């Protein structure tokens, strides 16, 4: 059996290994730490090196020595006091105490299990439409401490399929709280599980990628683990899944609300300077607020809007929103519309899924990240200014910058794994970023991008 270091050397070094496996160099460093290479990379490594499967660390012959540790509890025995479980696609079972809504028999929450490193803003996270199809593991232990309120919503209802936390939900201790998190989750039919070793689960996701999982919190306390394992193993995953249609608006509407400010709350844009159409692939409300606050009259249209339907509003610019799912699947209807809009030389600005779709429309490709970027502490370098920003992110796919044509330049890069975080066309007024400059939750280092969009519109109209 070869060591991980042997294989990295055979692949040509750290950067070459990352490129061959379509991952960042930080992921390769994790191979070294774990002394094992995740199975998803074996085909690329075998093709590049000519090694046999038996020579890879973690291959079936040696797997028993290198697999991630299993949960401590015997998986088919319900521990005393356990009222819920999280079952992963590999058959592993994590037991805990359920909260929020019960899962009806035969209708458990099946999804991709991811982790979020944010220390604040769990209500905004749970209502971010980009989390459709996902169960969120919060690495911060004190979830519930600020309660919930009707203002900290990024969508009308949460789309996350469940949440996993270390400790029992804490009592709210915030002057803005109007409802306990548990009651709020019940009202939206969202289940949760507490008492898990979230550190072990997070390491598992970090080293092996985001697994499929089933969160089960039955009212009768009965668990059919055979059926749960089959559900988790049989779920197809997010690759190839178009979820933007599920979370998008159904018809066009106007938006004028601006950002929240103490003590007045939300404001209203009464004197907009330009007209913008925002294509809703799962738009967070605070993105729309930031657009309005930047002096824009915002009209929101569904994800499936054609170029004709977008241009009918005579926009000075077009915004492409965040959203869930595989960009390559959403591209089937989104990319033709984006290309037709760009042919009219209308300024375009994209965020998150909108960034990925713009990359596809400009001729690039996308790929699924091993574990994704989710949290409010992600460092990104703006190559235009040389500044480093701490950003809020939530994405599991990325643009492959090696696929971008000559008329597209990279503008931002992740300082975690070197993946693409921004691009701009050199022959038309279009740019985008992978992260969330609107925050909520997160830092506001990147708010300037909304004003950069306005400046692009000003320049375009001036010429």
How far the first Cα of the chain sits from its last, in Å, is 64
**114 in active site:** no
Alpha carbon dihedral 263, 264, 269, 273, in 10-degree steps, equals: -40
H/E stretch holding 217: none
Strand-pair category, 134-138 with 109-116? parallel
Q: How many angstroms separate the CA atoms of 200 and 2, rounded?
A: 27
Beta carbons within 8 Å of 74's beta carbon, 6+ residues apart: none
The rounded Cα 23 to chain-centroid distance in angstroms is 17
Cα 350 from chain centre: 15
Which residue out of 21, 352, 389, 401 is catalytically annotated?
A: 352
Q: Do the beta carbons of residue 321 and residue 276 sit within 8 Å?
A: no
- Beta-carbon contacts of 187 under 8 Å, excluding residues fewer than 6 positions away, are none
Angle (CA) 144 149 153, round 5°: 100
The answer to whether 213 and 89 are in contact (CB under 8 A) is yes
Indicate the helix (H) or strand (E) that contains 65: helix 63-66
Whether 436 is catalytic = yes
Helices (H), 225-384: 225-234, 244-247, 285-293, 307-311, 327-343, 353-361
Catalytic annotation on 395? no
Q: Which helix (H) or strand (E) holds 91?
A: none
- Residue-by-residue DSSP string for 377-395: EEEEEETTT--EEEEEEEE
Q: Whose structure tokens read 């009464």?
A: 270
- Tell me which residues are annotated as active site: 352, 436, 438
């Amino acid at each position: 059996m070869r060591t991980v270091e042997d294989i990295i050397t055979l692949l040509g070094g750290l950067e070459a290994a990352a490129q061959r496996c379509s991952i960042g160099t930080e992921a390769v460093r994790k191979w070294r730490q774990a002394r094992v290479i995740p199975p998803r990379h074996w085909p690329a490594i075998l093709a590049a090196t000519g090694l046999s499967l038996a020579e890879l660390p973690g291959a079936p012959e040696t797997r028993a020595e290198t697999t991630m540790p299993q949960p401590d509890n015997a998986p088919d025995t319900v521990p005393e006091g356990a009222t819920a479980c999280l079952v992963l696609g590999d058959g592993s079972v994590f037991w805990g105490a359920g909260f929020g809504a019960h899962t009806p028999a035969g209708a458990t929450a099946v999804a991709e299990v991811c982790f979020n490193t944010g220390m604040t803003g769990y209500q905004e996270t749970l209502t971010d439409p980009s989390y459709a199809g996902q169960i969120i593991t919060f690495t911060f232990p004190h979830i519930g401490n600020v309660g919930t309120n009707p203002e900290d919503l990024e969508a009308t209802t949460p789309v996350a399929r469940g949440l996993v936390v270390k400790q029992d939900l804490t009592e709210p201790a915030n002057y803005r709280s109007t409802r306990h998190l548990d009651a709020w989750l019940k009202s939206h039919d969202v289940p949760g599980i507490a008492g898990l070793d979230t550190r072990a689960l997070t390491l598992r996701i970090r080293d092996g990628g985001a697994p499929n999982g089933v969160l089960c919190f039955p009212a009768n306390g009965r668990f059919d683990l055979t059926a749960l394992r089959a559900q988790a193993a049989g779920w197809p995953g997010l690759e190839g899944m178009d979820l933007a249609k599920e979370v998008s608006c159904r018809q066009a509407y106007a938006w004028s609300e601006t950002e929240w400010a103490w003590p007045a709350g939300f404001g209203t844009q009464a004197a907009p300077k330009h007209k913008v159409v925002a294509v809703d692939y799962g738009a967070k409300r605070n993105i729309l607020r930031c657009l309005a606050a930047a002096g824009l009259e915002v009209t929101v249209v569904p994800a499936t809007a054609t170029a004709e339907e977008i241009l009918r509003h005579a926009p000075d610019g077009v915004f492409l929103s965040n959203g869930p799912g595989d960009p390559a699947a959403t591209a089937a209807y989104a990319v033709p519309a984006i290309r037709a809009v760009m042919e009219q030389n209308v300024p375009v600005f994209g965020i998150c899924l909108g960034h990925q779709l713009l990359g596809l429309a400009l001729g690039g490709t996308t790929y699924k990240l091993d574990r994704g970027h989710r949290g409010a502490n992600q460092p990104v370098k703006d190559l235009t200014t040389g500044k480093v920003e701490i950003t809020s992110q939530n994405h599991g796919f990325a643009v492959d910058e090696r696929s971008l044509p000559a008329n597209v330049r990279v503008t931002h890069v992740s300082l975690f794994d070197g993946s693409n975080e921004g691009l701009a066309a050199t022959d038309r007024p279009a740019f985008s970023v992978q992260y969330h400059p609107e925050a909520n939750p997160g830092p506001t280092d990147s708010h300037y991008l909304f004003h950069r969009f306005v400046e692009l519109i000003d320049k375009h109209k001036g010429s």
